[in-house]
Structure 1
């Protein structure tokens, strides 16, 4: 089975769990524990794909440090290819510090580190690793300062011309969804086969308050637009029609990585040629399983769905 290429942010997450409240300045609170994880949009996607039996190939960057070695060792142990991950001497491995409330909601502080140096040149250096891939996922580009929307557009155009199916999940824009960024992102989406956004992202991208109005706008640029609605479910706008499914009710432990896992569940189901409703339902189900787990020692597998 052909692998799935992922071009985007790959980092370490240090997840601090079970907090009653966030600490205020100059105070201290106690947590139930913490966990180091392979993470970033690309990392969570890769782990989800691996658990579903698909082979991911990541193109990204880490620092040549202890944390970078930890991430690569974790992938090596799973048999996930690491040749596309560039180690940068003198740079810190990108790290996010995730504070998780006892209800599963989270707050994140990130250090970009080696992602500050990731750009189109590193993609060009490693793009031969995508030769046998059926799909290419471009993700988290807003978190890669030198890998601009214009660079992501170049990747999308090139890979689409090579016959790849392009998936796109930009994640949240920490710079405030500027007018130029929104304009360039919509231009990029013209070359995307499947655009994956959550409710808040699609509303900010289009400057609309109602996600249903927003999806109609994005649908003018992309043939298949997926909207992740959290506990309310999910939707896909395709061929001028909106397909929706309900969400699953679970006891939420940690929502980190849920959207990325959903994305890869949708990709897997698309490979299978399932109906749009079944794709959404499958993606919802594996994301729901993930957020109800106490740890990330494993990701949802087909036997659990």
Structure 2
């Protein structure tokens, strides 16, 4: 089983006539709701591909929380690790005008308040891999500290730091990195963490004990290393429609490959393939009909 541990957010996408400046008014043309959160998007993909999945996270006692849990239940993701709490669920309010320009406001809600004593340790013990992504940590560091405690007890940990954790730098992220098996940053995040060119940073990552590093390079594909094998893996041709969740989709494909005992190069090909197919659709969880095995046939 692969479990996710990260923020659960409901993306509320508002199509507006304009994005107002200070003291201006505008109006909403339409509203669309999409369950989100980086680790959650990856787990949704893995569940679609037939992998047993679970999730560790927190939602509030509101309609947003019910929607977030309901989406997982529809995908047959085990939700026993999701804490139901009083308060607001995480929400990202995304305002998009007719030209496609965006403005985003994030309310982390209860996401930042996961304490160690709230963790369902049965989920941790049953998971072969726990995939972690960043919390905003605006309301405190409880969830980040809980991730470190979970990482110490997990069989294997994969980590996509995102910008919130990359900006902690090596000093702030080192304790979690030392418990990480698979590191999944993009090029910019890796350079920010280590303060050096990403190629040099790969070696520094291995020196901390990380076994596998997969660096996402956008249109160039990715670079993978296990300390012995190092290889650039080209991206698949694609006609992008919506790039939201591309990195999460790569993670889903890459972890699928590892869970199916494929080597890091094959896993990288699957990650690139899944991402290339997802971005041809609208929505970060539009995995239906994508066959990850097609990448290596």
TM-score w.r.t. length of structure 1:
0.83
Give distance in 2, aligned partners of 1:212 and 1:131.
Answer: 34
Q: Which runs of 5+ in 2 are unaligned?
A: none
> CA offsets per residue over residues 142-189 of structure 1, 9 Å max, x none?
547333554422221111xxxx22211222217x824xx521412321
Partner of 1:138 in structure 2?
A: 132
Which of 163, 180, 185 is the aligned partner of 1:172? 163
Give distance in 2, aligned partners of 1:32 and 1:242.
Answer: 49
Distance verdict in 2 for CA 1:20–1:103, change over 3 Å: same
Map of 1:28-177 to 2, 5 A cutoff? 34-89=31-86, 91-99=87-95, 108-123=104-119, 126-143=120-137, 145-147=140-142, 149-159=144-154, 164-173=155-164, 177=167
* Contact 1:103/1:252 (8 A) holds in 2: no
Structure 2 counterpart SS, 1:131 = helix
Pair 1:244-2:229 in alignment:
no
Aligned length: 291
Partner of 2:8 in structure 1?
A: 10
Aligned Cα RMSD in Å? 2.9
Give distance in 2, aligned partners of 1:27 and 1:300.
Answer: 41
Give distance in 2, aligned partners of 1:103 and 1:169.
Answer: 31
Give distance in 1, aligned partners of 2:66 and 2:143.
Answer: 27
Give distance in 1, aligned partners of 2:28 and 2:288.
Answer: 26
1:269 Cα shift? 0.6
Which of 283, 286, 289 is the aligned partner of 2:277? 289
* Contact 1:104/1:252 (8 A) holds in 2: no
Q: Which runs of 5+ in 1 are unaligned?
A: none
1:46 Cα shift? 1.8
Give distance in 2, aligned partners of 1:254 and 1:104.
Answer: 11
